[in-house]
Structure 1
Amino acid sequence: MHRSAYDHTLFYRHSNHGSILLFVNVDDIVIRGDDVRGVDALKSFLKVKFHTKDLGVLKYFLGIEVVHSKRGIFLSQRKYVLDLLEDSRLLGSKPYETPMDQSVKLVTSEWELLEDLERYRRLVGKLNYLTITRLDIAFPVSVVSQFMASPTKLHWEAAIRIVKHLKGAPGKGILYASHGHVSVEAFSVVDWVGSPSDKRSIIGYCVFFGGNLVSCKSWK
């Protein structure tokens, strides 16, 4: 196996029989490939060397639920969302249709800081992990993440609104399906001086391969 130059947790092998991909995170491993014999040989090798256990077809990995169907592969974090709602004591709350109030401009404030700063930071950290499959909250989460050092009540209410929005559709996620082509498409956007707190511009891009999102990022 060869280590990827772009992701040090990803290993690969190409041969005349096909390709094999191996992704490792601490003691969790995902193997994918069209070289069936090669995959079986790799699993046997790992079982002997590291006493691994084969859990079969991928269904759950690092909080991400994987569902295989005729349409394709669907990724979601439904259980993660429900656990977050329970931990935040918001299971009985009324969901918001949108994750962010457009009329509220979040900036660094001189208001009194929250008493429990770590509670805010833990909540925002959990929301950040949800953006893997919930791209609809990516922007509001990036906004509340900018106030980790000195959050106020207004920032806390904005973070809670995102959680309440998740309740409306906890099982929403990303579908990876065959669209009949393997073309690459990329889109970018620039919000000129879009940050109200420091007047910096916000840049973003997303890349699709075969009609499926494979990469996205935004930054100031």
Structure 2
Amino acid sequence: MVLYDPHRRWAHRGICRWEDRALFFAEGGMPHRRPAENVQKLWDQAKEICAMCPVLAECQRDTLGEEYGVYGGRDPYERWRIRKVMNRSIVRWPEERRLAWAKEIYFLRKELGMGWRAIQTRTGMPESAAQTLYALWKDRLAEEKEKAAKADIIDLDLPEPEPAKPDFPERPGRRHAWVRNHGLIADGWYRGETPDGQWINLTVFSGRGQVHKWFRKDDVHLYRPQAVVILNYAERPDDHDLTA
């Protein structure tokens, strides 16, 4: 989706380059009100030239933010009227277009530090519409950040207290680590650990089949050390809740 061309690379093909600038920039016109009859007459002559221009569509697309002059067959007052209702019209845009513009406005404002007036000139979005789109993308980024944070949390059962601590076998198993699980020694695959290394997540077999569980560090013996993987254990119990 092409939103606009910020460099106006089409401009060199505009036929207005060889026409009288006085027609396109007649003095006396104000963007927020209708001009005098003599000014409107000059603007209308300029629009007739625009109608024959090979880049009329591109010019209309990229010059909506201009306050003065005739561009793309539109005079300043016509562009002002379009911008005036922009904040109401963007809610009817297809979601794809609305989000694409929201991302662009956020980039111009947040990353490039452009002022609202400069954003209007560049994109055609008046300040009210630009702020609405900016807030839309800001909220979307916050939602994505929240979803990503939730995705990093592994929601698994807390480790159950072990009534006894049998010794680990001296020989290695067929996986990665021996682990004390419900008073028995189990063979498990290493999945990751907390940043402080005090809890280790392993895949073991139980009566429910293959499960992922957290174990205290002293209940795990890695006989085949693995590259450290950091996981977030959101429901980690406090030390005073632990039982041997």
TM-score strictly above 0.5: no
TM-score by length of 1: 0.23
RCO (CA 8 Å, sep 6+): is it higher in 1 or 2?
1
Larger Rg: 2
